[in-house]
Structure 1
Amino acid sequence: MTLFSDPAAVSGYAERTAKIVPGLRDLHRMAGVLLAEHAPADARILVLGAGGGMELKAIAEMQPGWHFDGIDPSARMLDLARMTLGSLMPRVRLHEGYIDSAPKAPFDGAVCLLTLHFLPPVERLQTLKQIFMRLKPGASLVVAHHSFPIGGAAGDRWLARNAAFAAASGVPAVQAEGSMAIKERLPVLSPEQDADLLREAGFTDIVLFYCAFTFKGWVARRS
């Protein structure tokens, strides 16, 4: 993931991501709403893939009593998160690394946005199991990432729609059309496979709450 170590790419991350992920800022607020259904007023929340800090900032502003542990493998992206969070940083602890770098203490909820599609199935399942182990019983997990049928014309149709959305949002045409290569660059799974992995990791009450072209999002609970 050299993209997240390139200074120019990191500095433009928030603006670029908002142009290619439909309803990105609404997705952050929806995640906060879903976590709050089962998290207390003084919750401790785990955020995996926290670099950039956008979801951390949105949820922290919604819930002034919550504290957060954010995990990301990119030091540059964590620096961007610190800048994004500003005065909210006293409620956030950032950790460089992967899920193994997350504290073991039980969390009242977890969120993982635009991250799991980078992981092949075996690693994705292990990551979900590690998140599961860190949650209190009844706590919610919110995930969202690329998830669409890969084979045949259906997947290409959704990728073309993604590219059209990016172009309509102001992404240069060449870059927008480059999103058609997602199926070669990322180990994307179908929505059915993603739900199955959540189930295999131990989660229950798995519900699709977000569907935006190639992006899907689920909320699930630790039983």
Structure 2
Amino acid sequence: MTGFTDPQAVARYAEGPVRQVPGFHGLQQMTTVLLAEHAPADGNVLVVGAGGGLELKVFAEGHAGWRFVGVDPSAEMLALARSTLGELAARVDLHEGYVDTAPEGPFDAATCLLTLHFLPAPERLHTLREIRRRLRPGAPLVVAHHSFPQSEPEKTRWLQRYAAFAAASGVPFANAANAIAAIGSKLPALSPEHDEALLHEAGFEDVALFYAGFTFRGWVARNPG
């Protein structure tokens, strides 16, 4: 997974997702709703890719009884998460590292938002399996990330639409064009069908698409039990 270590990039992080992820705030709200379907009022939630703290803040504000474990490979992003959370940080235990660094749990729910697209398929499968291993039976997982067709001309069409959205949201067009060039050539993104198959292969059930925004997709799934 790519770590965010550039201080300027970290400082700008909070404004980026709103401009670059269609329905970013709605995605966080929907994730909270999906977690609450199964997580108890005093639930313990695992957040993989927690750097920045944006979703942690939404989750913590929405459910005062939940506690959280957040994992991220970037020390700089974890520092930003602590700043973002403020007093809410008292309910969050942050760990620098990857999913293998996370405590064994068991957890009542888990999320991995805007993170899995950094991982090639084998590492992605490993991450999903390790998350599931840490979940209680019946606990939900919510994931969302870049996931779009990998064959042409559909791949280019959706990347261009994503660039147009970013530009319309205030990202300079040259930056948006550079971004889709990098996403298309360097990011190990998968097709939605492949992403969904990996969730099943990792052992999850009730896999369902709940979010789609240009090049992004989001699924909710449950640990069997």
Q: Same fold (TM over 0.5)?
A: yes
Asked whether the equivalents of residues 202 and 222 of structure 1 are also in contact (C-alpha less than 8 Å), the reply is yes
Q: Which moved more, 1:59-68 or 1:174-183?
A: 174-183
Percent of aligned pairs with the same amino acid = 62
CA–CA separation in structure 1 for the residues paired with 2:198 and 2:70: 23
Q: Which moved more, 1:170-179 or 1:40-49?
A: 170-179
SS in 1 for 2:136: strand
What aligned pairs does 1:1-223 form with structure 2 within 5 A after superposition?
4-181=4-181, 182-223=183-224
CA–CA separation in structure 1 for the residues paired with 2:165 and 2:152: 21
CA–CA separation in structure 2 for the residues paired with 1:36 and 1:65: 11
| 1:185, distance to aligned residue in structure 2 (A) | 1.5
Alignment gaps of 5+ in structure 2: none
One-letter amino acid matched to 1:59: F
| 1:179, distance to aligned residue in structure 2 (A) | 2.4
Asked whether the equivalents of residues 3 and 10 of structure 1 are also in contact (C-alpha less than 8 Å), the reply is no
Asked whether the equivalents of residues 2 and 118 of structure 2 are also in contact (C-alpha less than 8 Å), the reply is no
Change (3 A) 1:3 1:127: closer
CA–CA separation in structure 2 for the residues paired with 1:178 and 1:159: 11
CA–CA separation in structure 1 for the residues paired with 2:82 and 2:95: 12
Cα-Cα RMSD? 0.9
CA–CA separation in structure 2 for the residues paired with 1:175 and 1:76: 23
Going by fraction, where is strand more abundant, 1 or 2? Answer: 1
One-letter amino acid matched to 2:210: F
Runs of 4+ in 1 over 6 A off after TM superposition: none
One-letter amino acid matched to 1:137: P
CA–CA separation in structure 1 for the residues paired with 2:158 and 2:25: 21
Asked whether the equivalents of residues 206 and 221 of structure 2 are also in contact (C-alpha less than 8 Å), the reply is yes
